[in-house]
Structure 1
Amino acid sequence: MNMSRSVGVEEELLLLDAESFEPRALSSAVLASARRGRSGTDEAFDAELQRQQLEFATRPQTRMQDLAAEIARWRAEAARHAESLGAAVAALATSPLPVSPTLSTGERYQWMQERYGLTADEQLTGGCHVHVSVDSDEEGVAVLDRIRPWLSVLLAMSANSPFWQGQDSGYASYRSRVWGRWPSAGPVEIFGSAGRYHELVQAMVATGALRDEGMIYFDARLSRTYPTVEIRVADVCLNADDTALLATLVRALVETAARQWRDDEPPSRHSVGLLRLATWQAGREGLDGQLIHPATMEPASAETVVRALFDHVRDALEDTDDLVPAQDALAEILKRGNGARTQRELLEQTGSLRDIVARCTLRTI
């Protein structure tokens, strides 16, 4: 039994011109600046598909306070390196302002562009990936089987991409719609065993539609690199505190699922079709409408569904002393709303997409 699972977070940030707030293809220059800094920051940062993006990864942490501090640190470091180049960073999952993305260099990205065309060319989206340690692939797949219905709730909480190419998309998370264009993206079936999971992954790669296992873009998967499950369904959150809450809930969700597996409690057998609808609804409404309840697969208010997730993982939160801080953070996000609500409120106040981005750069760090 793993009572204090380690958690790591990867966040994808937008790189912007510090005056116009339009996305800028500066990832190579920012990475070079980080390497010159010699403060260990080059190990945290990495390039992404598009050069208007920068990714960072925290180290694995077992105390959520330490993880929250590291998220804040790397956001601030990213901003510092960008500032030295006349740029800024924003934790936005899509660019509110129009943008023509610039594909990163390298054989892999070139292959993706040739294979996927506009899907690759237009894919300027920022996600948040949460890694939680598991004891084995068998435990990891048992967790994947049991967290399926709850992943849409994480998307709703994190939704932070209402605007696309200069207009309101009508969605709280339009990133989730754009990301869903990849052939392997989205909810998946129940696997039942690690063997069956790996068989499916190998069969998918063998079709030739994917370059390699790195292109298995399930909403949650076994990591290829670390002994973790990787939950990939969320938008990058505007507020670092929301990222920390998301990671806290994900760890508790993984622990709850592992306990269910050890107690021989079978996973919910909701179909992929229903889970896709729940994901669509979460991306459409965020926290401002009805979601599909993970237990019943019927409509319920966003607050009811979010509180159902909290109740589902309550025991695990209590066992890691995260219950009270998570309760406070949850109350805050339900009151304030997610990044999508904040962005739309800023548009109402300012009437300007440019001003939205300017203000969101300040909220990022």
Structure 2
Amino acid sequence: MRSVGVEEELLLVDAETGEPRALSTAVLAAASQGSGGQDHAFQKELHRQQLEFATHPQTGMGELAAEIARWRAEAAGHAGELGAAVAALATSPLPAGPAISSGERYRWLEEQFGLTAQEQITCGCHVHVSVESDEEGVAVLDRIRPWLSVLLAMSANSLFWQGEDSGYSSYRSRVWGRWPSSGPVETFGSADRYHEQVRAMVGTGTLRDEGMIYFDARLSHHYPTVEIRVADVCLDASTTVLLATLVRALVETAAREWRAGEPPARHGVGLLRLAAWRAGRSGLDEQLIHPGTMGPAPAEAVVRALFDHVRDALDDCGDLIPAQEGLAGLLKDGNGARVQRDLLRRTGSLRAVVAECARRTCS
């Protein structure tokens, strides 16, 4: 069974005002002290208002869920010692200014990319799924391209930007799209062509290194995995687990198609960019672009098409019933964007939105 690992980026906020706080250095120091000098799961991100953790590779979704809950709770505990909280929000509802982390890499990003780097206070969720080889990994990347926008719609959790409703369900996806290497890509056909493209992109001098290949899905340059990077960080940990469950099944389905000699869909990058824009705009509340027809369809129908596409792989992994139940809950209750919008409608306060989202992050 393929292993799955998750990276989540969390927002550090003031426990009283809900405003982002540049405390990642202090939180990391507290985490190091609390672990007695042993390794812990946390690391800094581009901005000091962000904190990232990574789970271990897991084959059981119960174990993955427990680890996500553990690291969210530990992050909240360390932040709480500093009068702060953590919120699984992909953008800050309240205004936030740049606070770039220290280090040569981050200084280089700020110098080279200016406002694009300064505005990247955005939190994503990356799902790693093991593959047997780069060849299998690239075959998977070629075949999952049309479905990535659906994952974005499901995870959408960033409607506010600098204190205003952006009109998007995932405005993070629009801000992230300003990086020159981000977004959907063409089919590669082989691992050699994939690596050739990466080398050529780095060779332009625009990107510092391979770590700046920000495709919606890529081969990890650290682990023997494909890394699906398209999603917002999810407000509820249960949504993260559902996302990871569907991603593993999507990878397995694509690998089976490759082994059976089924070619990938030939949708052009232009259509995939439109599908990603629509997913970021609509989330689960309006129409999406159906990966099969590349025409408009109700969001629920598109999400259910993803489920049907990976049903056999879910069943073989023992994940069919939990995924079915999780999907039903998500469609009923909504993603983080819908929750945030409903909270603002009820309370009239962005501060209250942040406070409730911080509570839900660890519930």
2: CA distance, partners of 1:95 / 1:42 = 29
What's the % identity of the aligned pairs? 77
Matched, 1:127 2:124: yes
Q: How does 1:320-339 map to 2 (within 5 A)?
A: 320-339=317-336
Alignment match, 2:30: 33
Q: Normalising by structure 2, what TM-score?
A: 0.99
Letter in 2 for 1:120: A
Q: Name the CA distance, whole Å, in 1 between partners of 2:175 and 2:44.
A: 20
Runs of 4+ in 1 over 4 A off after TM superposition: 39-42
Question: Separation in 2 of the partners of 1:228 and 1:325?
Answer: 24
Q: Counterparts of 2:288 and 2:36 in 1: how far apart (Å)?
A: 44
Consecutive unaligned residues in structure 1, runs of 5 or more? none
Counterpart residue number, 2:85: 88
Q: Which residue matches 1:186?
A: 183
Task: Look up the match of 1:212.
Answer: 209
Amino acid at match of 2:301: T
Q: Aligned residue for 1:243?
A: 240
Query: Does residue 1:12 correspond to 2:9, yes or no?
Result: yes
Determine the C-alpha separation between the residues in 2 that align with 1:23 and 1:171: 21
Note closer, same or farther for the CA distance 1:36–1:261 as it changes in structure 2 (3 Å cut): same
User: Please, what TM-score do these two structures have when normalized by structure 1?
Assistant: 0.98
Specify the SS of the correspondent of 1:88: strand
User: Secondary structure of 2:77's match?
Assistant: helix
CA RMSD of aligned residues (A): 0.8
In 1, Cα distance between the equivalents of 2:350 and 2:302? 31
For the residues of structure 2 that align with 1:164 and 1:42, how far apart are their CA atoms? 34
Distance across 1 between alignment mates of 2:236 and 2:267: 32
Contact 1:145 1:190 in 2 (8 A): yes
Q: Name the residue aligned to 1:48.
A: 45
1:162 corresponding residue in structure 2: 159
Residue 8 (structure 1) shift: 0.1
Aligned to 1:70: 67
| Partner-residue secondary structure (3-state), 2:40 | helix
Unmatched 5+ residue regions in structure 2?
Answer: none
Q: Distance in 1 between matches of 2:295 and 2:138?
A: 26
Task: State how far apart, in whole Å, the 2-side matches of 1:340 and 1:197 are.
Answer: 34
Residues 64-116 of structure 1: CA distance to partner in whole angstroms, max 9, x if unpaired?
11101111110000000100111100000000000102000000000000100
Measured in 2, the distance between the counterparts of 1:40 and 1:46 equals 14
Between the aligned partners of 1:292 and 1:40, the Cα distance in structure 2 is 49
Q: Deviations over 1:333-357 (max 9, x none)?
A: 0000000000000000000111100
CA 224–246 in structure 1, closer or farther in 2 if over 3 Å, else same: same
- Report the Cα distance in structure 2 between the residues aligned to 1:112 and 1:39, rounded to whole angstroms: 33
Secondary structure at the aligned position of 1:234 is classed as strand
Counterpart residue number, 1:273: 270
* Aligned partner (choices 134, 141, 151) of residue 144 of structure 1: 141
Number of matched residues?
Answer: 362
Distance 1:263 1:70, change over 3 A: same
Correspondence for 2:311 among 298, 311, 314 = 314
1:22 correspondence with 2:19 = yes
Q: 2:297 aligns with which of 297, 300, 318?
A: 300
Instruction: Tell me the residue number matched to 1:57.
Output: 54
